Chain A
Amino acid sequence: DAGVIQSPRHEVTEMGQEVTLRCKPISGHDYLFWYRQTMMRGLELLIYFNNNVPIDDSGMPEDRFSAKMPNASFSTLKIQPSEPRDSAVYFCASSSTPTGSQPQHFGDGTRLSIL
């Protein structure tokens, strides 16, 4: 079975540009999570969805960040306008539960560099 698929793997863009990150979760997983990983702050949960509905977006750092899940097999994370401090690795994960009772399955991430 295919795992969680993220695209692009790498993105380099200039400050002020719109950035769109994409994720395809594992089929049958009802929960999708977006994380940001940096050396300073570790792995931070940005937002998670249940059955395509955003449940908790308290981790989204600013209004410049938005996430959507138009259907069960696709989600996007957008940053507009992007800033250098947004440079990080962004991960998408999916699971059958939001809690720790089942594993989360991670994609290989998008390494984002904002110049």
Chain B
Amino acid sequence: SQQGEEDPQALSIQEGENATMNCSYKTSINNLQWYRQNSGRGLVHLILIRSNEREKHSGRLRVTLDTSKKSSSLLITASRAADTASYFCATDRPSGNTPLVFGKGTRLSVIA
């Protein structure tokens, strides 16, 4: 079954604004990752955050993790038209040597 669910399903903002996407999951995790997918391309890894971490930054990206609420957020600051893409969260399953499970993604449109 699907572990992570992104919210909202779609988001449209103006260039320069901040974009926030959320991911909720059902069971305990070890790691949570965020990926970007441009139209017609494969997924590209953005950030990995471990269950004992609360926040990570990478350039204009900021990821937070709240294990008590079983949720994560991805913030893109000062968005650009090139940030237009779908964004996915992916989580470990709670036990065992098992692969990532991906959510259905948030489609972000940044309007110039």
Which residues of A come within 8 Å of B, CB atoms?
4, 33, 42-43, 45, 48, 56, 91, 93, 98-109, 111
Contact = CB atoms under 8 A, between A and B. Distances in A.
Interface residues of B, number: 27
B48 A42 contact: no
B78 interface: no
Contacts of A4: 42
Contacts of B30: 99-101
A51 to B, nearest CB: 13
17 contacts: A43-B102, A43-B104, A45-B101, A98-B98, A99-B92, A99-B99, A99-B100, A100-B29, A100-B48, A100-B90, A101-B30, A101-B31, A101-B50, A104-B43, A108-B41, A108-B42, A111-B40
Contact of A99 (B2, B31, B104): B31
B26 to A, nearest CB: 15
A105 B99 contact: no
Given A98-B99, A99-B99, 19 more contacts: A4-B42, A33-B99, A42-B104, A91-B42, A91-B43, A98-B98, A99-B31, A99-B92, A99-B97, A100-B30, A100-B33, A100-B100, A101-B30, A101-B48, A101-B92, A102-B48, A104-B45, A106-B44, A108-B40
B33 A103 contact: yes
Contacts of B101: 45
A42 B45 contact: no
